[in-house]
Amino acid sequence: MSGRVLVGVKRVIDYAVKIRVKPDNSGVVTDGVKHSMNPFCEIAVEEAVKLKEKKFIKEVVAVSCGPQQAQETIRTALAMGADRGIHVEVTGKDYDTLGPLQVSKIFAALAKKEDAQLLILGKQAIDDDCNQTGQMTAALLDWPQGTFASEVSLEGDKIKVVREIDGGLETIKINTPAVLTADLRLNTPRYATLPNIMKAKKKKIAQVKPADLGVDITSRLEVLRVDEPPQRLAGVTVETVDDLVAKLKESGTI
Amino acid sequence: MAASLVRIFSKSCRQISRPWGASRAAWRSRSTNPAADVSSDQAAGGVSFPPLQTYSEEESMMREAVKKYAQERIAPFVSKMDENSTMDEEVIKSLFEQGLMGIEIDPEYNGTGSTFFASILVIEELAKVDPSVAVLCDIQNTLINTLFAELGTTAQKEQYLSRLTTDMVGSFCLSEAESGSDAFSLKTRADKHKDYYIINGSKLWISNAEHAGVFLVMANVDPSSVPEKNILGQIGQGYKYAIGMLNGGRIGIAAQMVGLAQGCFDNTIPYTRQRVQFGKRLFDFQGMQHQIAHVATQIEAGRLLTYNAARLKEAGRPFIKEACMAKYFTAEVATLTTSKCIEWMGGVGFTKDYPIEKYYRDCKIGTIYEGTTNVQLSTMAKLIDKEYDS
């Protein structure tokens, strides 16, 4: 086993920013807006670094797909403890239409090229909430998957994953190589300490293009329109239960 | 005859003096521009004359990291620490863990190996959340660590720097009951006795007294009883060292004041945008807008003075006057900002439930420690006087 883990990190609009739709309804405003690493990707990086610290794996490689700015996100991963980075350059219109299917093809190609033992992703990105990339990548590679992971432990050449599912917690044991996706309670990501930020400067980020990996990134989807959710209407207060029942009947709800 | 000789001589003198004057002016302009080009190139990696708010990638990353850390690991403790007048041990420990206590120190001693400007950014970000935590970090970096790094022998550096970057807080002991601004009339004595010194005297305002593991004590020594092991630098040079290091420390305090003012301002404006009186937001009243814009300008000016002084110091150029200006001005700005913020918040600004009044209490120290405002002004005046000497 190579002892190498690939971690996917996505650059998204910061969670604290108030999202605004572009006037032409083609998308959301991203120019000049604060971006950071997707919170679930931070959890993924933390898990990979922890595995390295416990000596289960030897190398953590951070991967991001996007324009030049994606390198900032990779640097943050390096500052958290990743060993090196790979920036898959996707720009302009291609980047606008880049979605889970294309990204999973890219990750699958990289996982093979880098002889990865493990691929850890965030369960979903907070901008599109797709929750698809991990699953698609596993399918393309024909690898087992442990998604919504809230606990991960390596046992020999198998991985025990505790998954958060609607019904509660599910524990599975899967073979390696495998794909894991990180859920909220998997860990608490560390801060990038100042010494680690300095060390990250010296770590390498390789640049590749999707074509170099033999991946076709044309999208099969077309975004027709983006709208804000409808304004939430004010409610009505009622005095008694009878009033409530009457109002519900009136509105045709019951 | 003599008169005509004089006339001819004076005419030729005048002719000589003009080209001399012209070349002197040319020399003056040549001497300033290249230096400006070099420092701005160094600062921004190739771009000429970038704005002062231009940061290297590592400086930006550090600022973001510290901002996040301060919000999550320090902010929750601020009001409790204030109430108990105690620095939380966990907060101090996390400062070390984040690498904030050895920013300029070489990684060989477990430091971060970054720059003075990075320290300034860190102090500013910390001060936005808690000025007291910021000054603990400032003293460690700009006074204690600098003294050891610049004056320590290899043995002293090995013994102390690794601890100072990892888990030991340092203390700076200069002032006494009878000597504050008049620092060097201090009375504490260090008398040699075999191979150690007996220190006699009492110090006041011993920074971080409850937490420090090493204390740098300024004392008078009998010059005939000559030094060694636990003396930092050379005997008799203490005054020069202290003054030199306080020049840099000044910029740190300026950064603290800028952060304090900005943090207070950032906590106040959202309230003015939310609070409605007489049918409109407080922010929509012209009187408020003018005051707010004025304060914002003052903070920006203070920040630019601070950043410029820091960049000058890094570039190895003279910076003492600029450092004095930064400290003096930002302390005034902090007082103005916090006072106004309480007014803008109204009743809630006055109560302890909101963080504003703590900033107001904290701001005054800026005009006092590491050289009072009057001392800064006098220092500036002396330098200005010298500028007109030639």
ipTM of the complex: 0.78
SS3 for A65?
strand
Shortest distance between the Cα of A72 and any Cα of chain B, in A, equals 9
Give yes or no for B190 touching A (CB within 8 A): no
Q: Pairing mode, if any, of strands A145-155 and A158-165?
A: antiparallel
Say whether A209 sits in a helix, a strand or coil.
coil
- Of all residues in chain B, the one with the smallest CA distance to A196 is B112
Cβ contact B380:B321 at 8 Å: yes
Nearest CA in chain B to A193: B98
| pLDDT given at position B217 | 87
B107–A193 C-beta distance less than 8 A: no
Q: Are strands B189-193 and B196-200 parallel, antiparallel or unpaired?
A: antiparallel
* B297: enclosing H helix or E strand: helix B286-314
Residues of chain B with pLDDT under 70: 1-47, 223-228, 230
Q: Out of B97, B107, B118, whose CB is closest to A193? A: B97
CA distances from B254 to A49, B306, B335 (A): 38, 6, 13
Q: Is A191 on the interface with B (CB under 8 A)?
A: yes
The pLDDT of residue B46: 58
Helix residue ranges, H only, B101-182? 116-129, 131-138, 146-151, 154-166
Domains and CATH numbers, chain A: 4-251 (3.40.50.620)
Q: Show residues of chain B in contact with A194, CB under 8 Å.
A: 62, 65-66, 98-100, 103, 112, 114, 118, 122
pTM, whole model, 2 decimals? 0.82
Give pLDDT < 50 ranges for chain A: none
Question: A195–B111: do the CB atoms touch at under 8 Å?
Answer: yes
CB burial of B246-266 (b: ≥16 within 10 Å; e: otherwise) equals: bbbbbbbbbbbbbbbbbbbbe
Q: Which of A72, A75, A195 sits opposite B107 (nearest CB)?
A: A195
Pair B336, B361: CB distance under 8 Å: no
> Are B302 and B326 in contact, with CB atoms under 8 Å apart?
yes
Provide the residue type at B213 as one letter.
G
The answer to whether A29 faces chain B, any CB pair under 8 Å, is: no
pLDDT reported for residue B228: 61
- Whether chain B has a CB inside 8 Å of the CB on A205: the answer is no
pLDDT of B157 reads 92
Cβ-nearest to A197 among B62, B68, B97? B62
At residue B107, the 3 state secondary structure works out as: helix
CA distance A185 to A121: 14
